[in-house]
Amino acid sequence: MTRFAAPIAEQIWDMKYRLKGPDGAALDLTVQDSWRRVAHDLARVEADPAVWQDRFYHALQDFRFLPAGRILAGAGTGREVTLFNCFVMGTIPDSMEGIFQALKEAALTMQQGGGIGYDFSTLRPKGAAVHGVAADASGPLSFMDVWDAMCRTIMSAGSRRGAMMATMRCDHPDIEAFIAAKQDSARLRMFNLSVLVTDGFMQAVRTDGPWDLQFGGRVWQTVPARDLWNRIMRATYDYAEPGVIFIDRINQMNNLAYAETIAATNPCGEQPLPPYGACLLGSVNLARLVMDPFTPQARMDMDALDDLVRVAVRMMDNTVDASRFPLPQQAREAQAKRRIGLGVTGLADALMMLGLRYGAADAVQVTRDWMRAIAHSAYWSSVGIAQEKGAFPLFDADRFLASGFMARMDGDLRAAIAAHGIRNALLTSIAPTGTISLYAGNVSSGIEPVFSPAYRRKVLQPDGSRTEEEVVDYAVALWRQMQGDAPLPAQFVDAQTLEPLAHVAMQAAAQEWVDSSISKTINCPEGIGFDAFKDVYLAAWDQGCKGCTTYRPNAVTGSVLSVDTTPAPADAMPAPADLSEPLHRPAALEGQTYKLKFPGSEHAIYITINDIIDAGQRRPFEVFINSKNMEHYAWTVALTRMISAVFRRGGDVSFVVEELKAVFDPRGGAWMGGRYVPSILAAIGGVIERHMIATGFIAGEGMGLKSDPKAAMPVDPPRGPACPNCGQYGMRMVEGCMTCPHCGHSECG
């Protein structure tokens, strides 16, 4: 009998976590093999590996503890990969040499799949003098463009997608340009952006006071604080970015405030980290620990929760020693502080099983109680490991216990830490769990509400056709097993029906007992007024959150996934990709390379055309045009970028062929294959046309569109953007990251 609760769970395991050989043959024959592989690898650093291997396997069994995807996919494989999810890079020096050394380090980290964060506040503002070269600085935004291009290059080379977070302080002179940067739809697409908001700024907003923008001890400009706040709010209201990070609160509450200053986070915001900081992630599946669900006796098994958390902490602590790191600075930082990020998933499902409505006062209190219990179990476990293996190297009892977070811990725990130390400087975090939640049977993700009780998912088959299956929320499926077709009770709410302030209350309740931070998206209705929208951020500030990320569907951000399950007519043709939303590149594409030797040209041109499957149809996705002739360099690069950009917009792009074939060279064309070709560009058009015919995208020569269809917008209601991995619509913001509900693809890697 399969251990998987749903077909999608097994598919996710097979795609992302199952160990396979170089030839694609499965080495993990069952999911139990995957659990044994991970348990064996993380137990090898123990004095008695056999004992701990069994305990680790039991924790993994039945999806009760869910290590993050990098651990599931990488532990025990022998591959040169990092098991860490989150990195913040070193402080960027304000010099050309330092900037490009930092860029190199980012590329090396991203090559191994790490998501990275950077604070660009250290770079001098645009227009500042650059001494010694008689020039003015181009500003942080120009260098962010360089980082963005680097990320696209790494991604186009077929490496695992690595997301980036860029932060900037609210008092930097270029903050207004930073706020507006992503309003240009072509700019900084590889970045999430967040403003580092200080206590002083929030107080100035409250009192409508002035606010100095400064750098290097010089005040560049003074602006009304409330005006700047409104700029931030308007940008995120209209464009979903930038996010807001309450950076002073983060540093005040940090257990390691005596040893580090934080100025950036990882891409989804749940890990505020110092320079070269690294953190690994894992989640306890609360939905699997509820006893007697949907009955008056329903309850959380607190003993099982305590045991699972203690074992999970040990597994994650061992991961610090088992992992590789892209940079030696990251290894030193991780080993000096032994930071881990243990969180939860399935919270909303667990609450529903107890008859509690997400966001209601009783659900908020239960969430607070559960998170408190998890924090205390985690800290007690870390104390026990410290007695056995030693405290983290930078532990200082007096200063550690003086931190804001430790002040709320019980006296007996504080006394134990003072006496024995603690193994891990920080232990808890709530990370994005979209993919591992699907793998665990489509439990609700992290501390998010259920997005939808059920939706239809199209599954791409090897022959290019698609089948449909229903994907049902874990708690809903359990209810159906127990109650048949009985209507769902009132506690079954979803993200679309909740008030934004209910989201805030849940985030704040969890944050009280999380020593790092939380990846959470506060869904706002499209029609929310601007003032009410701003109140969401003020509520997050007032209630003790460390940051705030919202998502309001609109014409710019895209709508949320439609959950209408009405089947299309049997004779309906598959819809092409939405012209309003460019597709992103999947990790691997099928393609063909063609050699073109144009008469009179010294060097051949090589044209690579890669295709994607969209709505069951193979279609061109990108083109690479290369030549050794340096005279060709500029126009081949331009052509590569422009044609690829058009292809990624979807629709019938065959007009590109006809446009190229119509280009003539006033110096004369050439005879090729018995016909006159008016230019080398026309010859390239002919190559692309023959490829389109071979793949079935157009029926024959000369049958492409004769003109640009002007990217006509679809008349259907707005949908979520198309997924770059599976091509289906419905990408949605989950825990600060655009995520596909159909295949589990996440833009955050």
Whole-angstrom distance, CA of residue 233 vs CA of residue 219: 24
Whole-angstrom distance, CA of residue 188 vs CA of residue 234: 19
Q: Is 238 helix (H, G, I), strand (E, B) or coil?
A: helix
- Token readout for 193 is 């952006």
CB 719 within 8 A of CB 430: no
How would you write 274-334 as a 3-class SS string? CCCCEEEEEEEEHHHHEECCCCCCCEECHHHHHHHHHHHHHHHHHHHHHCECCCHHHHHHH
Whole-angstrom distance, CA of residue 307 vs CA of residue 381: 9
Rounded to 5 degrees, what angle do the CA atoms 460, 564, 438 make? 50
- How many residues are given for the chain? 749
- Token readout for 623 is 């083109």
Comparing C-alpha atoms, which of 560, 358, 553, 341 is closest to residue 444? Answer: 358
CB 578 within 8 A of CB 468: no
Q: Cα 105 vs. chain centroid, distance in angstroms?
A: 20
266 is catalytic: yes
Q: Is 613 helix (H, G, I), strand (E, B) or coil?
A: strand
Whole-angstrom distance, CA of residue 371 vs CA of residue 360: 16
By the 10 Å C-beta count (0-12 exposed, 13-18 middle, 19+ buried), 236 is classed as buried
Residue 247 φ/ψ region, left for φ over 0, alpha for ψ in the -120 to 50 degree band, beta for the rest: alpha
Residue labelled with tokens 């699972």 = 308
Whole-angstrom distance, CA of residue 201 vs CA of residue 198: 5
Instruction: Tell me the longest C-alpha to C-alpha distance in the chain.
Output: 90
Whole-angstrom distance, CA of residue 645 vs CA of residue 639: 10
- Residue 144, CA distances (Å) to 131, 137, 168 in order: 22, 14, 11
Whole-angstrom distance, CA of residue 430 vs CA of residue 428: 7
- Among candidate residues 105, 260, 270, 622, the one labeled active-site is 270
- Among candidate residues 192, 251, 266, 318, the one labeled active-site is 266
Q: Cα 518 vs. chain centroid, distance in angstroms?
A: 13
Residue labelled with tokens 């869904």 = 523
Q: Which residues contact 634 (CB under 8 A, 6 or more apart)?
A: none
268 is catalytic: yes
- Residue 321, CA distances (Å) to 340, 417, 531 in order: 12, 22, 49
Q: Where are the alpha helices (DSSP H) in 575-679?
A: 633-647, 655-661
- Token readout for 328 is 């030696």
- Residue 659, CA distances (Å) to 148, 683, 713, 739 in order: 31, 12, 22, 36
Comparing C-alpha atoms, which of 80, 99, 81 is closest to residue 91? Answer: 99
Residue labelled with tokens 């494989």 = 77
- Among candidate residues 268, 737, 740, 748, the one labeled active-site is 268
Residues assigned a catalytic role: 266, 268, 270
